Amino acid sequence: MNIRTVSTTPFLDQKPGTSGLRKAVTTFQQPHYLENFIQSIFDSLGDLRGQTLVVGGDGRYYNRQAIQIILKMAAANGIGRIKVGQGGILSTPATSCIIRKYQALGGIVLSASHNPGGPEGDFGVKYNISNGGPAPEKVTDAMYAQSKVIERYQILETPDVDLETLNEFHLGDMVVEVIDPVQDYEKLMESLFDFDHLRQLLTSLNFRMCMDPLHAVAGPYAHAIFEQRLGAPAGTVRNGIPLEDFGGGHPDPNLVYAHELVDILYGENAPDFGAASDGDGDRNMILGRKFFVTPSDSLAVLVANAKLVPGYSSDLKGVARSMPTSQAVDRVAAQIGIECYETPTGWKFFGNLLDAGKANICGEESFGTGSDHVREKDGLWAVLFWLNILAVRQQSVEQIVREHWKTYGRNYYSRHDYEEVDTDQANTLMENLRSLLPTLKGKQFGKYQVEYADDFSYTDPIDGSVSQKQGIRIGFTDGSRIVVRLSGTGTQGATLRIYLESYEPDPAKHDLDPQQALASLITLADEIAHIRKMTGREQPTVIT
């Protein structure tokens, strides 16, 4: 076994964000850049001898090359077995499933999620721990610390592995097992949902659906589950072949970037149900015929109807949402008598609650929902959950959501994204806003009176860890909110996110366009934060 030790010097920009290390492809292609970060992961994990790791990615550009490097470095660092998805493909929720099922030490996910792909696009590396979830801050901090002092990395000199053939190979003393990326995940889904009932729905002449994976990783899973296992007609899944550049599109399942699906669902002879997923398969967008379900409402509807789904038919222990997510699910939790936890943005914050049995279902406004079946958000899981509800209730998506609003009231909600804002300007906006917080409580802005204003801080109820500066909240006495935060998922400049929410209990007022219902809050957010002045933008890049 010919192990080569390569001298190197640190890159000082390898601090993982909420979803790992994300950079432009060209950054990762620099000599030693990927190798340095992978070695920093291995060095921070302790004794790796005989351990099992899971490796896969979303199929974006540089995915295959990176996997070959990782396999050779894993062999050189004494790892015993690597389970790698066929063709290098493995969705983020499937990776979590496989880590948990086979009790692996962890897994390396190669993805920049919903960011664009291709030679000029983005790439990412994320480490998941043994519970299947994203590495917590104490783990990523150790990786970052190691990356700043690294002097060498180890790699096995050997030909590339055949990733296309389901088989076992040896790299030195390490076993490489090329696995079917769908099989274990599909079995897990079948244990949670009523597949017989779903097959009846999807083969019915009275129901049609359209699933759009946006040429990303969920394509093979959608083909296997919806068309092959559940009998949906061929063509139900569109854009289902993963492409290195996602077909030139942006693999983000929202109303802007999934416009082809939106056009279908709002067009003539529209299907009954539509859904899209993102680059690595962990996000989802849900549509009915000429009807969009906000992610916050989707989470609330899933919790309210959980008893209709076999895997969740017993009483829920609790639910959790990220702080910027609307408070719609809070109202459901209060009515059914369970705890609702509010956490910072980032799926890793749900992990402790799920592991401790405090919560069963979790969700974020950024098109992510999931449960304790894995430790990641899960796009296809959410789609199957909705289909199971539709199969049981025999109502349309719109009917189900409108009945939900009638029962619980409607939380009008919207997110305004300002992408690729100058980083210094974005940071200055946030600092200026923070300096205003002590002066805002009790202040009157037209019809709105400020009840509280803070920079959200979270103390984990399980391990006591504290996460500060997680987003600025300005809450009003009528229950309305403005939330301002910077996203950690972009690779160029800063993404400024403004979240706006107001509660309307009167069913007679549930038919407003959200931008109309929130118009006065939108104006007020600009008045308080000086968004247009600080960003130089007249309009958001994306409104959801």
Active-site positions? Answer: 113
Residue 342: beta bridge partners?
321
Decide the pairing of beta strands 448-455 and 444-445. Answer: antiparallel
DSSP string across 367-392 = TEEEETTSSS--HHHHHHHHHHHHHH
End-to-end Cα distance, the chain: 53
CA distance 483 to 470: 10
3 state DSSP class of 301: helix
3 state DSSP class of 466: strand
CA distance 87 to 306: 35
The two tokens of residue 97 are 């499933």
- As to burial, measured by CB atoms within 10 angstroms (0-12 exposed, 13-18 middle, 19+ buried), residue 46 is exposed
Whether 227 and 233 have beta carbons less than 8 Å apart is answered as: yes
CA distance 190 to 96: 16
Query: Token pair 């559940």 is at which residue?
Result: 230
Whether 482 and 528 have beta carbons less than 8 Å apart is answered as: yes
CA distance 161 to 87: 11
CA distance 5 to 73: 10
HSE toward the beta carbon, residue 219, CA cutoff 13 A: 21
The two tokens of residue 140 are 């990523």
C-alpha angle with apex 364: 422 to 84, nearest 5 degrees? 90
CA distance 348 to 272: 34
